Structure 1
Amino acid sequence: MFDLDAPITTVKEDQEGLNRNNFAENLAKNINNHYNQGEVNECLVIGLMGEWGDGKTSVLNLTQKHLKEINSEIEIVNFHPWLYSSYNQLIHLFFEDLINSITGDDLKDELRKYSLKLDKLSLTKTIISETLGSFSNSLKNVFEEFAPKNSEEKTLNQLKNSINEELVNHKVLCIIDDIDRLTKEEISEMFRLLKII
């Protein structure tokens, strides 16, 4: 007889094993309480830590199940960063998952624009950096002086402000699982992504 090493998805499966349901249900209630604090538009970050195989994904699955039962207005985004191979792809995949998980055409449109601007800005910086690597420092400084900076960033800030205004009407929970599968460099890129959003 073989046991599958797969995360559980139901309360019944949990009762037959490690009994994490109470923790998951309390976590769901606390997350819901955060979203029901009125006009507060603050981010909440929760870290679920444990060794590989401890059942972190099982807890997340049960928490999502309870959240959907408690508050169907919460829009849940599941993101798996280990599926990407570059920083640009990480940005693209995250925003793709976010756009597919939320409601509201205006918000989706703003998020698409923001994602495209980030892709474009990141690609431009990469090309300039690689091209300038072969130039002397003095020539590099001159080239960077003329490279577009502020206009692109202002556009990003305007889009970000517009997205923040739209998000006031949304309760979005982003679950980032399997960070322990990433290398140190990939974890660093993951946190860079979180910083820009």
Structure 2
Amino acid sequence: MGTGGFLAEPEPSEAVEATYAADIADDGYVMNLTRVWAQAPPVQDAWSALSVEAAETAGLTFRQKGIVVTALAAAMGDAYCSLAWGTRLARASDAPTARAVLDGTDEGLDDDERTIAAWARQLVRDPNGTTAADVDALRRAGFDDRAILGLTAYIAARIAFSTVNDALGAIPDAELRAAAPPAVLDAVTYGRAATA
């Protein structure tokens, strides 16, 4: 059984049980990060609603979400989301492409995908350092201003999610490690080590 990082197991409730049941239905086990967020299921629900709405506003495909989250998680040094989304990106493309996004070389991405990966990393490293030229690059990549807002809000929501997980000690699940291709495992040398 996983743990909720530095937090105690949440008090039992219908909301907690529903949260755990959703993980079991989707993944076959309760993720360690879910035990963290289960302390306040309405907060998790609010974050999820923001994340989904922002991604839809941006018009992101699953592959684009994989690029964005993998790039920002690696830039943050977040092993949990790097393993989870690096593996998803590997499935949506291939393992060398996922590795390249984790490493920041972005080989295997087209120019538009490189632009959104760079935007995600910029928001992690220095959101005050963005310029009108960066936004123009997003426009050239096919995003209108509404979609640019959605993309930026999605990235910000994902940064917040990773921050909560990392700050509260959520350890990547052994199941995530077992599911990750070797190229992803080799790239994720930072953050908290996965459970055995």
| TM-score normalised by L of structure 1 | 0.28
Compare CA radii of gyration and give the structure with the larger one: 1
Is the strand fraction higher in 1 or 2?
A: 1
Is the helix fraction higher in 1 or 2?
A: 2
